[in-house]
A and B are shown apart, each in its own frame.
Chain A
Amino acid sequence: MLIWQRAVVGVCSLVALAGCAGPLSTLAPGGPSAGAIANLWWVMLAGAVAIFGLTTGLLGMAFLVRNGGPASVRLWIIGLGIAFPTTVLIVLLLYGLVIGERLQPVAAADVVEIEAIARQWHWRFRPVLADGRGQETIGVLHIPAGRPVDVIVRSEDVIHSFWVPALAGKMDAIPGKTNRLRLVAAQPGRYGGVCAEFCGIGHSGNRFLVIAHDPASWAGVLAAAS
């Protein structure tokens, strides 16, 4: 088989079998935050395909109609150039703003706080308990499933970025600054995490694991950490 045939077969089977899955996929959400963003993506993709079809369709037709007569500034510039994108953008911006607001780490009774401290090249995690800080884990972040978790992101050297694609967007770890990111894992399970901001030689391997626990096993984790 030629290499390109193999490639085509490969892509087809990949899309068919794996689809959007993968340890770091943003399109296989494991919680409501990542889910809302994945929905936003699919809506935007559909809209983008439609707009792309419209514009390239108009472009292609321009070659077919040939000399459609004097062009109307009103149609092309005011209608298609201004009114059309303005309408689409207003709707999209509102949609994006509402989702973004819903993902904010607002105060709630059952929020669990965990510190994530980045350095070249590993992540350390430490639950914030009622009586101080719990024990550190390196490279593994334990969280409860079904409860909002606020990750308090810090860095000890250069800029890193905390990212668990299945659970939420990313948040930079910046020296001298403390950031907060809300995660929610719908189900107990294991999720891949990775440093998203280039942080030097060890950037590629700067990954970590998130384990979401059911209430019983979370109680065990807390007991061990305190």
Chain B
Amino acid sequence: MHAIWDRGPGLRGALGTVNHSDVGRRFIITAFVFFCIGRVLAMLIRTQLATPGSAFVGPAIYNQLFTMHGSIMMFLFAIPMIEGLAFYMLPKLLGARDMAFPRLSAFGYWCYLFGGTILVLSLFFGVAPDSGWFMYTPLSSKPFTPGINADVWLIGVTFVEVSAMAAAIEIMVSVLKLRAPGLRIDRMPLFAWYLLVTALMMLIGFPPLILGSILLELERAFDWPFFDPNRGGDPLLWQHLFWLFGHPEVYIIFLPAAGVVSTVLPVMARTRIIGYGWIIAAILALAILSFGLWVHHMFTTGIPHMALGFFSAASALVAIPTGIQIFAWIGTIWAGRPELKLPMLHILGFFVVFIIGGLTGVMLAMVPFNWQAHDTAFVTAHLHYVLVGGFVFPMLAGAVYWLPHFTGRQPIERLGKAAFWLIFIGFNLTFLMMHMVGLLGQPRRIYSYPEAMGWTWYNLLASFGSFIMAFGFALFALDVALQIWLGRHTQRNPWRAGTLEWAMPLPAPSYNFASLPSVSDFEPVTDDPQLALKLACGEGFLGEPRHGWRETMGSHMLTGRPEYIVLLPGNTLLPLLTAVMTGGFFVSILAGVYALAPVFLVAVAICAWRWAWTTTNGKNFGLLDAGHELALPVHAEAPGSPGHWGSVFAIVADGTLFATLVFGYAYLWTIAGGWPPPALIAASPIGGIVALAVLAGASLAARKATAVRATLTERRRFLWMMTGAQVVALALLIHETATAIPPPSSHAYAATVMVLFVYAAFHVALALLLTGFALARIRAGFVSDQRTVDVRVAAMWHGYALAVTAVVLLATKVPAMLA
């Protein structure tokens, strides 16, 4: 089993591993390294602010410091730490042997590492982003940031976000499809619920940021004026796009941490959590609400007061689902016999800090108070209370709780407690002071202030606290290191927990479970303390290795009834290679060598082709023994395979990006000044109508190509019809792009219409590529009556390309014809 699941030997093995424990650990360690870098920047910031009129660093460097501190903590620490914890822990909690797309996890890691490295390296070259971590235009536009600084942010963060999108899709599919036999969705560990909702939010929350970054980079690189008020753009469009992402982001960070609390707290209180169903309802409510309150970051931009009132109420409402969770947790401690062990100590720190952050959050949701406190140190303090309280303390609790799982060693309590107190005291000292100095009028992001402002002592104490906190984190790192090197071996379930991750030997083996459990209730390990032994002896499902395959169970989304055996791909260098090519694409844009970008894009497409080609080996196996007299097909021969669902969720994310683009178009048209534009797209709809007609006709062919009863010859014929239609539509769209649209740099209208057309053309080309792939797979004999996923995926993306082309043509041609 170990030979099948472990990484290969040597450097090649290290670079080629796709095992979720390896990738998860790498994410966690890398995120911690970036956290340390971010902490050092924070200390430099606090050193500069400690005294009035300080000459430690000048404003140019200071602006880079705070921009990078925020960007690193948000994009290179918090989100990747969540991804790492999810990758490592989810399969173990759900009774699986890996995530649904192991190569995608590895690819995501490399993208994260490369993107993060670009960002951090820019600091050493003195060209780090310096427009603040939310990059408001026009300060971040070319005229006011002529250097490469803003490009580093846009490219680096987008590169890193590739990994977040990959992780979101992967977490969705893994939680929904890769659970142990019998694990019903309403018996799932709460941590999995939290991550499921988080992943859904990432799927919908990140595309606005990615779109915004693309538009701003287009503006910077080619002078397409999306945000330039002199040419029909609007700087506020950037703020809408950014906070449409930025506010859900806060909950994307908080929810997994709350999931850790919901997991660790009941174990520490020696009881079960109360209100399981209520908590799920609360996190769903939070997820929905979080997309309706981004405007509370924009209360001072001059939006009418009544509109602000709506967003104010929505922001305040968030306190209710949060309150449900807080009181469910406190009630759980009341119901149990709590033990004040180290993880619980960190959870108490979480309560104190996060409750204060929540209370100041309600204050800031009140519009008049926000008018005073906005953009002051009060807001900085509030967001640190929310994020450190709502993320760092739960993560510290999770770290000390699960560390034995990673190391197989017993925790060392005393050093950890000292670390906790230093972090807790230092944190509160720093940020209580910043609340006060904010109320005394200290704006955010100033590098210097005169003595006469009366801010001196608060700042000095805040800086002092920041250094105490740093000692605390150093002690925490030392504690972890000591545990790894010197800790005594732990028994299998040191906290007497009930969830499945403890039903395995420690440290966790590469395959997690020698055989997969059958789960019927919330706490399988409490119900059967001997479960780990039984699974290790092969008494569960899929206990017999065959053909060196990596097998895990695919089950029904709701009931957990086993549906198929998932054959997972083994170690390969392909994710690394694809990430390097993706990096080549991004770096060529960053360096302004635009001619190279398409070359790398083709290289990425070739890697992706190879990737998809090697996913399954193309043979029919029929029903295979899964243990306990259960016979199941492999996933490729079953409907609703992980690849199918991965494609569905990718379309959800892509569709969100497109919807945001259409929102931007409508927003500019209705809100921005300088509209209607001087010149519209050529009104003639003929090319568009022909393109739509052939694509629509081809979608009938797509239905026939995917029909259950279709023969291979029929499938091939209909796929060829699709490619014909796609080529025609693509040619028409390119022709339209080249001839009908006014120069994109002339007006935001022309720039937006150009992006809409390029988006549509790109997706028709993508559908063409996938249709061609399906044809190649048929030709190679990899498609059969049972194995049709390649054809279905091509049909799915064809349908999406048709839909976006229709929307683009309607949204651009109808106004032009009416004018």
Contact = CB atoms under 8 A, between A and B. Distances in A.
Interface of A: 3-4, 7, 10-11, 14, 18, 20-27, 34, 36-37, 40-41, 44, 48, 51-52, 55-56, 58-59, 61-63, 65-73, 75-77, 80-82, 84-86, 89, 92-93, 95-97, 99-101, 103-104, 120, 153, 157-159, 161, 163, 165, 168-172, 174-177, 179-180, 192, 194-205
B361 to A, nearest CB: 10
27 contacts: A10-B461, A14-B458, A22-B454, A24-B441, A25-B440, A41-B372, A55-B326, A59-B333, A72-B331, A73-B331, A77-B275, A82-B324, A85-B319, A85-B323, A92-B362, A93-B366, A100-B368, A103-B371, A157-B138, A159-B139, A175-B138, A192-B441, A194-B443, A196-B374, A196-B443, A198-B139, A203-B445
Contact of A48 (B363, B376, B446, B454): B363
Given A93-B366, A176-B673, A197-B375, 19 more contacts: A21-B454, A22-B453, A23-B441, A24-B440, A24-B442, A37-B372, A40-B366, A48-B359, A63-B340, A67-B336, A71-B331, A81-B320, A81-B325, A170-B371, A175-B235, A194-B443, A196-B374, A198-B445, A200-B63
A196 B59 contact: no
A77 B464 CA distance: 40
B431 interface: no
A37 B138 contact: no
B320 A86 contact: yes
Contacts, number: 273
A81 B322 CA distance: 8
Q: Which of B348, B371, B448 has most A Cβ within 10 Å?
A: B371
Q: Which of A20, A23, A93 has most B Cβ within 10 Å?
A: A93
B308 interface: yes
A48 B363 CA distance: 9
Contacts of B282: 81
B455 interface: yes
B234 A176 contact: yes
A56 B355 contact: yes
B452 A23 contact: yes
A148 B376 CA distance: 25
B111 to A, nearest CB: 29
A89 B319 contact: yes
Contact of A169 (B143, B300, B445, B673): B300
Contacts of A165: 372, 441
Contacts of A77: 274-275, 278, 324, 327-328, 331
B144 interface: yes
Given A63-B338, A165-B441, A96 B300 contact: no
A62 B338 contact: yes
Interface stretch (B252-260, B309-317, B649-657): B309-317
Given A48-B360, A76-B275, A177 B139 contact: no
Contact of B235 (A51, A176, A200): A176
Nearest to B309: A97
Contacts of B60: 201
Given A37-B371, A200-B139, A14 B457 contact: yes
B302 A93 contact: no
B305 A34 contact: no
A53 B351 CA distance: 12
B445 A7 contact: no
A51 B360 CA distance: 12
Nearest to A13: B457
A76 B327 contact: yes
B338 A66 contact: yes
B666 interface: no
A203 B360 CA distance: 26
Nearest to B145: A200
Interface in B7-35: none
A195 B300 CA distance: 13
Interface in B337-373: 337-338, 340, 348, 351-352, 355-356, 359-360, 362-363, 366-373
Contacts of B348: 59
A85 B320 contact: yes
B236 interface: yes
A47 to B, nearest CB: 8
B457 A7 contact: yes
B248 interface: no
Given A63-B340, A196-B374, A204-B59, A40 B368 contact: yes
B132 interface: yes
A92 B337 CA distance: 37
Nearest to B276: A73
A181 B114 CA distance: 46
Nearest to B326: A55
Contacts of A81: 275, 278, 282, 320, 323-328
Interface of B: 59-60, 63, 131-132, 136, 138-139, 143-144, 229-230, 234-236, 274-275, 278, 282, 300-302, 305, 308-309, 312-313, 316-317, 319-320, 323-328, 330-338, 340, 348, 351-352, 355-356, 359-360, 362-363, 366-376, 439-449, 452-455, 457-458, 460-461, 464, 672-674
A198 B444 contact: yes
Given A169-B368, A179-B302, A71 B332 contact: yes
A96 B368 contact: yes
B229 A76 contact: no
A59 B351 contact: yes
Q: Which of A52, A77, A103, A120 has most B Cβ within 10 Å?
A: A77
Nearest to A165: B441
Given A20-B439, A67-B336, A7 B461 contact: yes
Given A73-B275, A77-B328, A174 B302 contact: yes
Contact of A66 (B332, B337, B356): B337
Contacts of B338: 62-63, 66
A75 B139 contact: no
Contacts of B369: 37, 40-41, 44, 96
Contacts of B337: 66-67
Nearest to A168: B371
A201 B130 CA distance: 9
Contact of B335 (A20, A70, A176, A199): A70
A40 B340 CA distance: 38
B316 A92 contact: yes
Contact of B136 (A11, A41, A97, A159): A159
Contacts of B302: 153, 171-172, 174, 177, 179-180
Nearest to A171: B300
Contacts of B360: 48
Contacts of B366: 40, 44, 92-93, 95-96
Contacts of B371: 37, 103, 168-171
Contacts of B319: 85, 89
A93 B312 contact: yes
Contact of A55 (B330, B362, B442): B330
A51 B336 contact: no
Contacts of B330: 55, 58-59, 62, 76
B346 to A, nearest CB: 14
A100 B300 contact: no
Given A3-B464, A76-B328, A96-B366, A71 B316 contact: no
Contact of A10 (B236, B457, B673): B457
Contacts of B132: 198
Contacts of A66: 337-338
B139 A174 contact: no
Nearest to B317: A89
A75 B331 contact: yes
B331 A159 contact: no
A104 B138 CA distance: 28
Contacts of B335: 67-71
Contacts of A89: 316-317, 319-320, 362
A69 B132 CA distance: 51
A27 B336 contact: no
A96 B374 contact: no
Contacts of A158: 136, 138-139, 144
